[in-house]
Chains A and B, each alone.
Chain A
Amino acid sequence: MEGIGLKILGALLTTIMAFAVGMTYGGITRKLTARVQNRVGPTIWQNFIDLVKLQSKKTNIYHGVMGHFAPMWIITAAMTVLMFIPVLHPNSTWYSTWFPNLTFHGDLIFLLYMMVFGSLGMALGAGQTGNPNSAIGVTRGLSQMVGFEIPFVLALVALMVQYKTTSIQDIMAIQDQSGVWMMFSNPFSFLAALFASLGMFRYSPFDIVGAPAELASGPVSEFGGKYLGVMMTGGSIFAFIKLTLYVDLFMGGAYSIPELLIKTFALYMVPVFYGWVSPRYRTEQAIRYFWGWPTALGILGVIIAVW
């Protein structure tokens, strides 16, 4: 049973790393945003401090069972999806020593299903609180998801069709053999997926869900204290998951943690940079954006893949 113990340990380690990386990236973003706006800004650990503060709130409002479960749902979904993502390249030594084979040899389609679970939990929880702002936030979030999922799925379909596999590990192995990253061999799919990531991270032009000024932070507007803290944790794990998935699919995976950090950080800065120079879109503008060029690029990628 030593194998099981190691796997559990590895799972714990992966989760803690995903959490720490996601939170720190958020903190670095806050600091960088402040510098861009000619401010000093908070420390890069500010998100951790916020989290400790939220967890040490003395009272929490109770809005009913689903409102209670939503944060747990989000964090459970985040950890589950994390277990299905190859964090490091399977051929690397770090992988076998630090992250024993807890990563599932599979399947992009399954992953696509699982990744919406977090949003689903959020939607159910926000629904129970009965706050009209939450309801509007949820509808906006789902509409936006319909927008960016299309180029994202098109990009993944192009990869799956071209290489006749749905396994992430196989796609990583193909990049290994050919020595070319997918972002260069399938540039159109990569661009489509990159545009989709702008919507996934909900930085500025696409922050229509949270919209503090109009919607009072949208779906989370009735969640405070510990609930908000748990949601923050789940959110940062999800950020890490998305980045790692992109690195695995388009940048050949990572052989060590520092390599993973460099690649994910570079990817993370794309939505952040885009956010600094853009004001917020309205919902229909956001959807029109995703169904415009990103979808066209995605279709082009699929055509090239089939060809």
Chain B
Amino acid sequence: MENKRNSQTIAEYIKNWSRKHSLFIMAYGTGCGAIEIPATLTSRYDAERLGIRGAATPRQADVLLITGYLATKTLKRVIRVYEQMQDPKYVIAFGSCTINGGMYYDSYNTINVLEKYIPVDVYINGCMPRPEAVIAGFQQLQDKIARGEADNGTRYKENLEWYRANQHRVIKNWRMPDYNW
């Protein structure tokens, strides 16, 4: 039992179990990946059986899906959405574009490595990942949550200066409110 719970307390174990089985997703439909989300959520692949369900606002969401390349302009919105989400929160990044820029690696207005701007829990590779891969990614996230290793929000808060510096480097006209997340 000690092993299975990964040295979590009972309360923490129960909380993580419920977090794992109830993921409200905020699908930020950037890039090409937005089209895979409806397929994942509707009848054919039915993500709701895993407790995955769409949330309409960042306040209610647990998982932020970044579904592809991010223009610097979009990155600004992504950061705002991410900071409005409440702890514990998770980020799943889709496709090669979020890992290393993909086919937009030398584009003048997209970012290459998402990890520099917000922390990412799970990457799903492919261009574009199919719904099976997306669900596999979700399961990976669920395992991570169950082990108590998904600490996205804390990582962001602890390394805030580093993330902010990177964000400021690409977003030149930084006019954003400071959120108390």
Binding site for B on A (CB under 8 A): 30, 34, 37-42, 46, 49-50, 52-53, 56-62, 133, 212-213, 215-217, 220-225, 228
Interface size on B, residues (CB 8 A): 29
Residues of B within 8 A of A217 (CB): 55-57, 60
Write the chain B residue with the least CB distance to A37.
Answer: B43
B60 touches A56 (CB 8 A): no
Contact between chains at A224 and B59 (CB < 8 Å): yes
Q: Name A45's closest neighbour in chain B (CB-CB).
A: B21
Within 8 A of A (CB), among B11-33: 14-15, 18-19, 21-22
Residue of B nearest to A63 (CB): B59
Q: How far is the CA of A56 from the CA of B48 in the complex (A)?
A: 21
Are B18 and A216 in touch, CB under 8 angstroms? no
Interface of B is mostly: loop
Q: How far is the CB of B129 from chain A (nearest CB, A)?
A: 21
Contacts of B59 in A (CB 8 A): 61, 221-225, 228
A174 to B85, CA, bound (A): 54
The answer to whether B49 has its CB under 8 Å from any CB of chain A is yes
Within 8 A of A (CB), among B21-72: 21-22, 42-43, 46, 48-49, 51, 53-57, 59-62
Contact (Cβ within 8 A) B43 A57: no
New A-B pairs, 8, CB < 8 Å, besides A39-B42, A215-B56, A224-B59:
A49-B21, A52-B15, A213-B56, A217-B55, A220-B60, A223-B59, A223-B60, A224-B85
Q: What is the CA–CA distance of A115 and B87 in the complex, to the nearest angstrom?
A: 34
**Chain B nearest CB: distance from A300 CB in Å?**
40
Which of A34, A53, A57, A223 is in CB contact (< 8 Å) with B87?
A57
